[in-house]
Structure 1
Amino acid sequence: MAPSALPAPGTAGPSAGQDAADGRPVVLDRRTGPFGEVVLRRHGALLQIIANGCFLMDTSDGRSERLLVRAALTELTSGSGAARPHPPRLLIGGLGVGFSLAEAAAEPRWGGIDVVEREPAVLDWHRAGPLAAHSGGALTDPRVRVVQADLLAHLHSVRGRYEALCLDIDNGPDWTVTEDNDGLYSPAGLAACRAALTEGGVLVVWSAQPSATFPDLLGDAGFVGVRTEEVSVARGVPDVLFLASRHSATRSA
């Protein structure tokens, strides 16, 4: 399906800022790609991303998405205090509505910031569409590199590159957007996450709900210091961050 025309950043399209006459959300763009359908719609003041009919995220809050990045930096800087040869390098898995990337770009202590996003439509919505305001121009930050790829494929292509991985591509390890995303949370996928980290690196995974099994899977994959943080939301169960670190087998957890 050909993409619909998008308004330039900072400008309003014909349906921006209002719902349909019956109060329903207004579709701003709808595309079909290799991973299914993605939709950007506006509901009142909110922008929403829908993937394959599943609500993925919106611009209503963003606290937990920002905390995703802050928690990773806190974990890195609260360790042994040993000097690093360079500022920590960050991978953000999933651009989404841009909260995590904007948080990272606003923090001068990060070195290189790679954001991996597989949906061309999402990149377009940030480069020349309504979501540009929410990523705050971060895509033009000289530290930021956009990688248009499947996250798991990218992880398999790197080894020891990042000090931190911040992953937010699903509603959680037990609630994936597409079935093939299950591979990221499998033993092989978590092993790829661990291999992409430097010694002492940190993995943080965002989830819309708790998981009884994921912490054990992280431990089985060789991560240490596994813990969870809950972030309260206006309605429903809290968002959850899963945190874990990579250390060698010879180093004490």
Structure 2
Amino acid sequence: MAEPTARVLDRRDGPYGEVVLRRRGEGEAAVFEIIANGCFLMDTSDGRSERLLVRAALDATPVPRPSLLVGGLGAGFSLAEAAADPALSRITVLEREQAVVEWHSGPLGRFSAGSLKDPRTEVVIADLLDHLRGTRDRWDVVCLDIDNGPDWTVTDANGGLYGFAGLTVLQRVLTPSGVLAVWSAAPAPDFEERLRARFARVRRMDVLVDRGAPDVVYLASQVE
């Protein structure tokens, strides 16, 4: 069976280039796609690895009422998983594209499951690394779902997030027992090596998905 034709629902020129929301199919079976500067970022066909990103990080934290930062709103699966946990005390979402946030008041709203209206949730529209460099906030859990992972970034600036300088910033915004979780569309061995150089404990989790090669979630913390 031929794949349904993609229909453009919205197209915006933002501070980082063009972002597009497309839909394939109709009704409950419809799949929505987010495209940035002509590069496929994500779709709503399978959110298992995005949900695992949050669930595994929360399971790893020893803090009973943790605070959590989600880097990248995207299709909303990660935020929905976080908001479904009543133990979380505070949820911060950093998303640099205003359009993506607005799409969750429309076509993408069912995937974030109303979690943007959760009283614990604060949405900050900013570049993640720029914001973290200037903040004094700390979080018990930081979950990153930026671009397609460490080895496949849409803008060159995002590559800095996964280098040693970016990891230094991430370490600073984590509490002493904090957990860092990073989503990737494929294994990123160089990034994993940098993680192991900076964190006492690093774990890689492969997540089988229908579209092909497994997604990968990296977990890192200073607690053995």
TM-score by length of 2: 0.94
Letter in 1 for 2:133: H
Q: Does 1:98 align with 2:76?
A: yes
Q: CA deviation at 1:160?
A: 5.9
- May I ask how many residue pairs the two structures share in their alignment? 219
Specify whether residues 160 and 33 from structure 1 end up closer, same or farther in structure 2 by C-alpha distance, changes over 3 A only. Answer: closer
| Structure 1 residue ranges without an equivalent (≥5) | 1-21, 78-83, 248-252
The alpha-carbon deviation at position 116 of structure 1 amounts to 0.3
In structure 2, which of residues 176, 180, 186 is the aligned counterpart of residue 203 of structure 1? 180
Query: What residue in structure 2 maps to residue 132 of structure 1?
Result: 109
2:18 paired with 1:33: no
Say which of 117, 128, 146 aligns to 2:95: 117
Structure-2 residue corresponding to 1:5: none
CA contact (8 A) 1:159 1:197 kept: no
State the shift of 1:206 in Å.
0.2
In structure 2, what residue type is equivalent to 1:192?
V
* Amino acid paired to 1:41: R
Correspondence for 2:152? 175
Q: In 2, distance between residues paired with 1:169 and 1:214?
A: 14
Q: Give the letter for the 1:230 counterpart.
A: D
Query: Is 1:225 matched up with 2:206?
Result: no
- 3-state SS of the aligned residue for 1:244? strand
Which position in structure 1 is the counterpart of 2:220? Answer: 244
TM-fit CA distance, 1:235: 2.9
- Give the letter aligned to residue 108 of structure 1: P
Helix, strand or coil: the match of 2:22? strand
Q: Secondary structure at the match of 1:155?
A: helix
Judging by fraction of residues, say which structure has more helix.
Answer: 2
For the 8 Å contact 2:163–2:191, the answer to whether it is kept is no
Match of 2:61, SS?
helix
Match among 35, 42, 54 for residue 23 of structure 2: 42
Does residue 1:158 correspond to 2:135, yes or no? yes
CA contact (8 A) 1:89 1:112 kept: yes
Partner of 2:18, secondary structure, is strand
SS of the residue corresponding to residue 122 of structure 1 reads: helix
Deviation at 1:219, TM superposition (A): 2.3
SS of structure 2 residue aligned to 1:64: helix
Amino acid at match of 1:34: P
Pair 1:56 & 2:41 matched: yes
Q: SS at 1:232's partner residue?
A: strand
Measured against aligned partners, the alpha-carbon deviations of 1:24-66 in whole angstroms (never above 9, x if no partner) come to: 2000000011101100000111011001111111110100000
RMSD: 1.6
C-alpha displacement of 1:87:
1.4
Deviations 1:152-194 (A, max 9, x none): 0121123461000000011110001111101101111110001
| Matched residue, 1:147 | 124
Q: Which moved more, 1:154-163 or 1:63-72?
A: 154-163
Give SS of 1:154's match: helix
- Distance in 2 between residues matched to 1:188 and 1:242, nearest whole Å: 18
More strand by share: 2
Deviations 1:84-133 (CA, angstroms, capped at 9, x unpaired): 5x710000000001001011111101110000000000011012x10111
